[in-house]
């Protein structure tokens, strides 16, 4: 298993370019299941989750070719509408095949994802919506088994906005008979991007980016060529990294318009954030000011940047209150940050951080994707050596993060553990 070793204290100075968005690329790959023919996607990030989704499409019977950051997917050949436990357990976003499979193949068998490190994460809203559209749902042996005729348009209201739930139903509704209206839909930029991709394929969707999305079903969709938008969470992570290391980073290909909630908080904390060309320059000055944070669905503060902000606020002087409203158990990074000297108390969905201006390097363990990023950031800003183990979490969502950080001055390297000697 790989580990990342960081010697903290270097300022990050220079330019870094943001890769394509994982959470936009995955639903697009799923959308190909609605088409016959070969779609091409450019600016696909090189990540473990993309490889897992590629394996899933191949398992279903599709053909995927990858050349650097370009993926060609032919899903017309899909025969077996089943997503097995082995793939779904490593990546919850596998659930995104459910809507497209049932819409096009009239049948889907997808392993239930189960809980994960950050919460229970049920899929009841995905199932409720597909049932409203006429699918018959059975849950057996840990699998969701769905059958349907041609899905029918329906009015569906989500109790709470769900990103992959909105995406799943938008894809299913694109091929349904009649009009589907999704109320209290997710407004995340990746949902908007998927709607644009589906419209390029021939779907008729409007209202994306608002609470109410209307989908007028069509008979068929066609393959497309599309370039994936930049990853706002990767961009936000580098912005926080620059702030924490008193750095001066030009973050290129940065979707700044999607990061308003972060920019407001960084400025409040005393960080300079200035748009420059296709990106943003982030300059961290002396002392970080503590600012309170409350996560919420877009356009609120993203839960996927909460752990990184917790690391930053551990370096501030003063008290910070972080409230996590999206997931019920997203403070797994806290006990590891404490090992680095952070003073953090958890009370339910709230973390209270008493920043003391510094962190100290320590061996720590990554527990989920964004928690891993927060530990790397803490390591960059801490005194001495930090060793982050279980970095496979990081590889799910950050393309070559240690290389990008080393190129702007971080003392960071990846080491592979020697294989254990066989016991005889
Ligand atoms: C997506 C993102 C993830 C991000 C999250 C919230 C992808 C691949 N992943 O995850 O990075 O952290 O949005 O921005 O895009 N819920 C239910 N029932 C459901 C579905 C969701 O109760 O059927 C709840 C969840 O438990 C959670 C909340 O709704 O509390 C939001 O979750 P959701 O938006 O669905 O997250 P994901 O789509 O899984």
pLDDT of residue 152: 98
Residue 200 CA to ligand 1 centre (angstroms): 25
Which residues have CB under 8 Å from 140's CB, separation 6+? none
Span 189-208, pLDDT tens digits: 999 999 999 999 999 999 99
State yes or no: pLDDT of 347 exceeds 50. Answer: yes
Angle between helices 163-174 and 189-200 (to 10 degrees): 10
Q: Which two tokens stand for residue 49?
A: 């989750």
State yes or no: pLDDT of 419 exceeds 80. Answer: no
Percentage of the residues of the chain whose pLDDT score is greater than 70: 97
Distance between CA atoms of 9 and 358, rounded to whole angstroms? 11
Active-site hit among 38, 116, 157, 254:
116
pLDDT of residue 80: 86
Distance between CA atoms of 395 and 135, rounded to whole angstroms? 36
pLDDT of residue 424: 44
Q: Which amino acid residue places its CA nearest to atom 34 of ligand 1?
A: 162
Span 260-319, pLDDT tens digits: 999 999 999 999 999 999 999 999 987 999 999 999 999 999 999 999 999 999 999 899
Check if the beta carbon of residue 156 is closer than 8 Å to that of residue 129.
yes
Distance between CA atoms of 270 and 287, rounded to whole angstroms? 8
Averaged confidence pLDDT in the chain: 94
User: pLDDT band at 421, cuts 50/70/90?
Assistant: low
Residue 297 CA to ligand 1 centre (angstroms): 9
State yes or no: pLDDT of 171 exceeds 90. Answer: yes
Residue 15 CA to ligand 1 centre (angstroms): 32
State yes or no: pLDDT of 16 exceeds 90. Answer: yes
Listed in sequence order, the DSSP H helices in 143-213 are 163-174, 189-200
pLDDT of residue 285: 82
The pTM assigned to this predicted structure is 0.96
Ligand 1 lining (C-beta closer than 6 Å): 23, 26, 92-93, 119, 121-126, 160, 162-165, 186, 190, 303-304, 326-327
Number of H helices, E strands in the chain: 14, 24
pLDDT of residue 416: 87
Percentage of the residues of the chain whose pLDDT score is greater than 90: 88
pLDDT of residue 242: 98
Question: H/E element holding 393?
Answer: helix 392-395
User: pLDDT band at 329, cuts 50/70/90?
Assistant: confident
CA-127 nearest atom, ligand 1: 23
DSSP codes joined into one string, 51-110: HHHHHHHHHHT-EEEEETTEEEEE-TT----EE-HHHHTT-GGGGGGHHHHHHHHSEEEE
Given ligand 1 and candidates 114, 164, 333, which is best to mutate, with the most ligand atoms within 8 Å of its CB?
164
User: pLDDT band at 118, cuts 50/70/90?
Assistant: low
State yes or no: pLDDT of 356 exceeds 90. Answer: no
pLDDT of residue 119: 67
Distance between CA atoms of 313 and 322, rounded to whole angstroms? 9
Nearest-5° angle of CA 385, CA 386, CA 389?
145
State yes or no: pLDDT of 52 exceeds 50. Answer: yes
Q: Is 157 a catalytic residue?
A: no
């Amino acid at each position: 298993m790989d580990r990342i070793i960081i010697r903290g204290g270097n300022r990050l100075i220079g330019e870094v370019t943001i890769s394509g968005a994982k959470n936009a690329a995955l639903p697009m790959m799923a959308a190909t299941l609605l088409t016959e023919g070969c779609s091409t996607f450019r600016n696909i990030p090189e990540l473990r989750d993309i490889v897992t989704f590629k394996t899933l499409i191949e398992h279903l019977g599709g053909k995927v070719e990858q050349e650097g950051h370009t993926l060609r997917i032919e899903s017309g050949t899909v025969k077996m509408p089943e997503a097995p436990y082995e793939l779904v357990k490593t990546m919850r976003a596998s659930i995104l095949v459910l809507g497209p499979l049932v819409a096009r193949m009239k049948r889907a068998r997808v392993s239930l994802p189960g809980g994960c490190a950050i919460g229970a994460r049920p899929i009841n809203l995905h199932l409720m919506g597909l049932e409203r559209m006429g699918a018959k749902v059975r849950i057996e042996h840990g699998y969701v088994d769905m059958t349907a005729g041609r899905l029918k348009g329906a009015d569906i209201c989500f109790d709470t906005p769900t990103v992959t739930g909105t995406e799943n139903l938008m894809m299913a509704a694109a091929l349904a008979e009649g009009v589907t209206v999704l109320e209290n839909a997710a407004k995340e930029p990746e949902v908007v991007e998927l709607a644009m991709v589906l419209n390029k394929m021939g779907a008729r969707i409007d209202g994306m980016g608002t609470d109410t999305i209307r989908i007028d079903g069509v008979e068929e969709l066609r393959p497309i060529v599309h370039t994936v938008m930049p990853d706002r969470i990767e961009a936000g992570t580098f912005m926080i990294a620059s702030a924490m290391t008193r750095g001066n980073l030009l973050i290129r290909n940065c979707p700044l318009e999607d990061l308003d909630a972060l920019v407001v908080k960084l400025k409040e904390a005393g960080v300079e954030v200035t748009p420059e060309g296709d990106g943003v320059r982030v300059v961290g000055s002396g002392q970080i000011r503590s600012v309170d944070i409350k996560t919420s669905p877009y356009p609120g503060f993203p839960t996927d940047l909460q752990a990184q902000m917790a690391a930053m606020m551990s370096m501030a002087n003063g008290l910070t209150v972080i409230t996590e409203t999206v997931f019920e158990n997203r403070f797994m990074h806290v006990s590891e940050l404490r090992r680095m000297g952070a003073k953090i108390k958890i009370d339910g969905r709230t973390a209270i951080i008493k920043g003391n201006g510094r962190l100290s390097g320590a061996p720590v363990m990554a527990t989920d994707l964004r928690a891993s990023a927060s530990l790397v950031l803490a390591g960059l800003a801490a005194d001495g050596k930090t060793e982050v183990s279980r970095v496979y979490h990081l590889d799910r969502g950050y393309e070559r993060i240690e290389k990008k950080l080393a190129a702007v001055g971080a003392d960071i390297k990846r080491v592979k553990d020697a294989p254990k000697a066989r016991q005889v």
